[in-house]
């Protein structure tokens, strides 16, 4: 076997290892976020609009940081998978938390009994997936406004958000290619776990 074939095989094995580690990290991230959703004392939140706006600002900061990390990663596609595994659950859990708190504040906000955390998460996912079974519906004007905001943001997340991640992957691959331009040193690359 030639030296070139050995190097290619080692590179392929290294890439597979990065993909597996990236997927495990993505799964672990999603599990931690869901655990935090069930464990955090959401009962103490009194101002839902302010908390939701603050959460959305944090989400935007996380997305911006993730896009930068994708562009700088050695394997941008792997890093994008990890980024999606963080941002999509964070987005969904943010709205689930808002619905849970709204239901605690006034059970009349929704058509069913006082929502549990699981009910709120279920309701959020049905809205996100556009299934909307109708077993839980927003009844009050404030609950309908939050659901409307989620539906609009769902479209933005699915359209612009995924497009931004794909664009970051393409930009990262262009920067990693040796044909980046004559005399232009490439930026230092990071592994998908954030290390150089």
CB-facing half-sphere around the CA of 90: CA atoms within 13 A: 20
Confidence of residue 7 (pLDDT cuts 50, 70, 90): low
Domain boundaries, the chain: 13-176
Using CA atoms, how far apart are residues 138 and 145, in angstroms rounded to an integer?
9
CB burial string 19-43: b at 16+ within 10 A, e below: eebbeebbeebbeebbeebeeeebe
Question: Tell me, what's the pLDDT at 193?
Answer: 55
Question: Tell me, what's the pLDDT at 133?
Answer: 84
| pTM, 2 dp | 0.80
Q: Which residue's structure tokens are 């490439």?
A: 186
Residues 25-47 have pLDDT tens digits of 888 988 999 999 999 999 888 88
Residues 134-179 have pLDDT tens digits of 899 999 999 999 999 999 999 988 888 889 989 999 999 998 776 5
Question: Tell me, what's the pLDDT at 184?
Answer: 46
DSSP state string for 25-88? HHHHHHHHHHHHHHHS-GGG---HHHHHHHHHHHHHHHHHHHHHHHHHBSSHHHHHHHHHHHHH
């Amino acid at each position: 076997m030639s030296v070139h074939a050995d190097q290619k095989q080692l590179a392929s094995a290294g890439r597979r290892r990065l993909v597996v580690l990236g997927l495990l990290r993505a799964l672990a991230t999603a599990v931690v976020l869901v655990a935090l959703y069930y464990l955090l004392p959401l009962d103490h939140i009194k101002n839902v609009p302010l908390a939701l706006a603050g959460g959305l600002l944090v989400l935007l900061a996380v997305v911006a940081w993730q896009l930068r990390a994708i562009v700088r990663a050695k394997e941008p596609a792997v890093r994008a998978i990890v980024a999606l595994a963080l941002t999509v659950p964070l987005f969904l859990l943010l709205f689930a938390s808002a619905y849970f708190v709204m239901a605690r504040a006034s059970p009349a906000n929704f058509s069913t009994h006082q929502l549990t955390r699981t009910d709120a998460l279920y309701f959020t996912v049905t809205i996100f997936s556009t299934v909307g079974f109708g077993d839980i519906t927003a009844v009050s004007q404030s609950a309908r406004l939050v659901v409307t905001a989620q539906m609009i943001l769902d479209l933005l997340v699915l359209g612009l958000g995924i497009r931004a991640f794909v664009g970051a992957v393409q930009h990262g691959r262009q920067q990693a290619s040796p044909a980046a331009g004559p005399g232009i040193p490439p930026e230092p690359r990071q592994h998908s776990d954030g290390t150089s």
